[in-house]
Amino acid sequence: MSTRPTLVFVHGAFADSSGWSSTLADLDGRGFPVLAVPNQLRGLTADADQVRSVLATIEGPVVLVGHSYGGAVIGEAARGADNVRALVFVAAYALDEGESIATVLDPETYPGGLLGPDTTVVRPFGEQDGDLYITEDDFATVFAADVGAARSRLMYLTQRPLSLSAFGGTAAADPAWRSLPCWALVAEEDNAIPPAGQRWMAERAGATISSTTSSHAVMVSRPEAVTATVLAAAESVG
């Protein structure tokens, strides 16, 4: 008798685990073990180590799901985590060795991303680091253009910042997507990560790709598309 995989979700920057709520409820109702890991957003290596420490406590196979910066994290975290059987990138970064989320997509090749100095504010901490937030005026457009105004406002108010260290953190050698089956969901109206860039990274990773008409907050505005993508990965494991 096959064992259903545990479905582990890692959120990205400017968000928290509550963004996965609809998909978590759906999958839980279908009888899958699910877990949403709070991403620390402090640095790529440290964040991946923290997720990997959680994976080490899970018995049986795992499907690891990442949104946005969380995609970069799962590509690192799954390396050396022998129970991870598949990766799912949701409007996400999939980095190769030496790349960071700041450098992986050339804006001339992949235009349209609105996340940058004009739409963010840095709140310094320590001597050399800072926290990056999306500004009040730009949050809805950049992150949640197809989310209702009230929900988008709450997402802005509760956004978790990304440290500059995490923004510039580079991936190590042998990302996990080189050795694991991958799925990817492209958000076709994403103003944070250009959709063409998402697709290029997913193709490079050899992912099975689907798409949906959505903003960057696809897990909030199109949770059914996220659920379908995760289920496809889970079925390949089970």
Here the CATH number for the domain that contains residue 212 is 3.40.50.1820
Residue 42 sits in which domain range? 6-237
Q: Specify if 134 maps to a domain.
A: yes
Q: Specify if 1 maps to a domain.
A: no
Q: Specify if 40 maps to a domain.
A: yes
pTM: 0.97
Q: Specify if 120 maps to a domain.
A: yes
Q: Specify if 186 maps to a domain.
A: yes
Give tens-digit pLDDT for 16-26.
999 999 999 99
Q: Cα–Cα distance between 212 and 217 in angstroms, integer? A: 11
CB atoms inside a 10 Å sphere around CB 121: 14
Strand segments (E) across the chain: 6-10, 34-37, 62-67, 84-90, 120-125, 129-134, 162-163, 182-187, 208-212
Mean pLDDT of the chain: 97
Cα distances (Å, whole numbers) of residue 181 to 109, 150, 177: 27, 38, 7
Q: Specify if 211 maps to a domain.
A: yes
Q: How many structural domains are present in the chain?
A: 1
Q: Specify if 156 maps to a domain.
A: yes
Q: Cα–Cα distance between 83 and 187 in angstroms, integer? A: 28
Give tens-digit pLDDT for 128-161.
899 999 999 999 999 999 999 999 999 999 999 9
